[in-house]
Amino acid sequence: MEKPASASRTVMTQIIFPLDTNHHDTMFGGKVMEYMDKAAAIAAMRHARMQVVTASTDSLDFVAPIRVGEVIEVEAYVSWTNKSSMEVCVTVQSENLYTAERTTTVTAFFTFVALDDKGKPAKVPKVYPETEEEIRMFATAPERHELRMKRKRERQQPAKT
Ligand SMILES: CC(C)(COP(=O)(O)OP(=O)(O)OC[C@H]1O[C@@H](n2cnc3c(N)ncnc32)[C@H](O)[C@@H]1OP(=O)(O)O)[C@@H](O)C(=O)NCCC(=O)NCCS
């Protein structure tokens, strides 16, 4: 079975309060990552309709600060699938509620793995892209997958003393 990327699209909207910020009055990075991981997990479960775990996160690029009183919109969708794994594309946009100005603040790719009732990796439906952005992400995903596998292999090699 194949499902469109849009079927997993998940949008989470939050307003940033002082408790979400660091001593620079900008949003605490760990909090942004929590929201991203949650939105990505929902997108992966919407696609697989199974339990999922986070297998890895590619580099997270914080390109602009998020300030108190701004709204963030975390958007996630399954951009590519392999056998049991799903790549989820996540972007965070901040919005100034007074000026309506929107800024892309963070982007990242998460990999989730679907698990069966026994906790073993289970096959997921294939995803197909429709929009221009989805098509671009889908086309470039195998290359990112290869890099993740290379990183995993390198980590598994015993450290030289
Ligand atoms: C993710 C996990 C299930 C993979 O288990 P594993 O024994 O490595 O399983 P396999 O080698 O059979 O790989 C299963 C799938 O995971 C993918 N995978 C495993 N490690 C990966 C990594 N570091 N990055 C990306 N994908 C990964 C594999 O490519 C494979 O995908 P495919 O079926 O589409 O080919 C296992 O490592 C795990 O449970 N990790 C902990 C997850 C967790 O607790 N997350 C929350 C952390 S806070």
Domain boundaries, the chain: 2-156
Over residues 52-63, the pLDDT tens digits come to 999 999 988 888
Over residues 108-150, the pLDDT tens digits come to 999 999 999 999 999 999 999 999 999 999 999 999 999 999 9
Helical H segments across 14-125, by residue range: 29-48
**Which pLDDT band, with edges at 50, 70 and 90, does 161 fall under?**
low
**Beta-sheet pairing, 2-4 with 126-128:** parallel
**Which pLDDT band, with edges at 50, 70 and 90, does 160 fall under?**
low
Q: How far is the CA of 112 from the centre of ligand 1 (A)?
A: 8
> 54: Cβ below 6 Å to ligand 1?
yes
Atom of ligand 1 nearest to the CA of 151: 23
Report the CATH superfamily, name and number, of domain 2-156. Hotdog Thioesterase (3.10.129.10)
The dihedral sign for the CA sequence 24, 29, 35, 40: positive
> 56: Cβ below 6 Å to ligand 1?
yes
Neighbouring residues of 84: CB distance < 8 A, sequence distance ≥ 6: 113, 114, 115, 121, 122, 123, 124
Q: Rg of the chain over CA atoms, in angstroms?
A: 17
Over residues 63-108, the pLDDT tens digits come to 899 999 999 999 999 999 999 999 999 999 999 999 999 999 999 9
Atom of ligand 1 nearest to the CA of 81: 34
Q: Whose CA is nearest to atom 27 of ligand 1?
A: 55
Atom of ligand 1 nearest to the CA of 84: 33
The Cα–Cα gap between 82 and 103 comes to 32
Residue 43 in contact with residue 10, Cβ under 8 Å?
yes
